[in-house]
Amino acid sequence: MTSPSSAPVAFTVEQARTRLGALTVLDVRTPGEYASGHVPGAVNVPLDRLPHAVDAVRDAAARRDVLVVCASGNRSRRACLLLAEHGVTAATLTGGTGAWAAAGHDLHRPAGSGVRAGWSMERQVRFTAGTVVLLGLLLGVLVHPAFRLLSAAVAGGLVFSALTDTCGMAALLSRLPHNRPRPADLDTALAALRDA
């Protein structure tokens, strides 16, 4: 599926749907995003916790092909590359859960998980960036013009994010408590991978 030096194989929604029963599906979004709806049978291991799960994913990959899913495909591609560095082959779902839902397929929601469905990471980034820009502009008018540099810094960060296909703000937001898995949730996910 992927090697450390190549881009990961990408499954279309239909390819993934027809093979779903034969795949181990790994959802690398935050717990809140996962709770808002995920591909049926997906196990949630957030991208920033994936290095702790490599052994369990390797065990699962020895039994079944691994499909990595996120909201749009960016985090899942990064996850596939990280796994490839550890000798684990995986594919990504083109368009992520957004494409899965747009194709008319159901998204499952965990019952009684105690995790509240939250905003997608992209939505959290847009909200935070917009808030900081408005705050910088408002403080620049009311307090001191130098506060407008805050807005300029966010704009520069967004341009850098687009050019490098990375997002520092998303990395920071993913560390907030509502975006972090509880240790018990991660332990449950690792156990599910070992049993897959």
124-174 pLDDT per residue, tens: 888 999 999 999 999 999 999 999 999 999 999 989 888 887 788 887 887
Please choose, from the candidates 131, 101, 115, the residue with its C-alpha nearest in 3D space to the C-alpha of residue 179.
115
Please state whether the predicted TM-score (pTM) of the whole model is above 0.75.
Answer: no
Torsion angle of alpha carbons 13, 16, 21, 27, nearest 10°?
-80
What's the average model confidence in pLDDT over 79-88? Answer: 94
Longest CA pairwise span in the chain (Å): 62
pLDDT score at 2: 45
User: Is the confidence at residue 52, as pLDDT, over 70?
Assistant: yes
CA distances from residue 116 to 9, 37, 52, 119, 156 in whole angstroms, order as listed? 32, 11, 24, 10, 33
**Residue 120 CA neighbour count, 13 Å, CB half:** 12
Give the whole-angstrom CA distance, residue 41 versus residue 166.
Answer: 28
Q: Is 167 a catalytic residue?
A: no
Please choose, from the candidates 114, 108, 128, the residue with its C-alpha nearest in 3D space to the C-alpha of residue 168.
128
Instruction: Give the DSSP H or E segment for 75.
Output: helix 74-85
What digits encode the pLDDT tens for the residues 117-132? 567 777 888 899 999 9
Give the whole-angstrom CA distance, residue 52 versus residue 72.
Answer: 23
Query: 1, 28, 70, 82: which is the annotated catalytic residue?
Result: 70
pLDDT score at 116: 54
pLDDT score at 37: 87
- Top-confidence residue, 160 or 185: 160
Q: With bands split at pLDDT 50, 70 and 90, how would you rate the model's confidence at 112? A: low
Tokens 């810094």 locate to: 153
Please choose, from the candidates 58, 52, 116, the residue with its C-alpha nearest in 3D space to the C-alpha of residue 90.
58
Instruction: Give the DSSP H or E segment for 66.
Output: strand 65-69
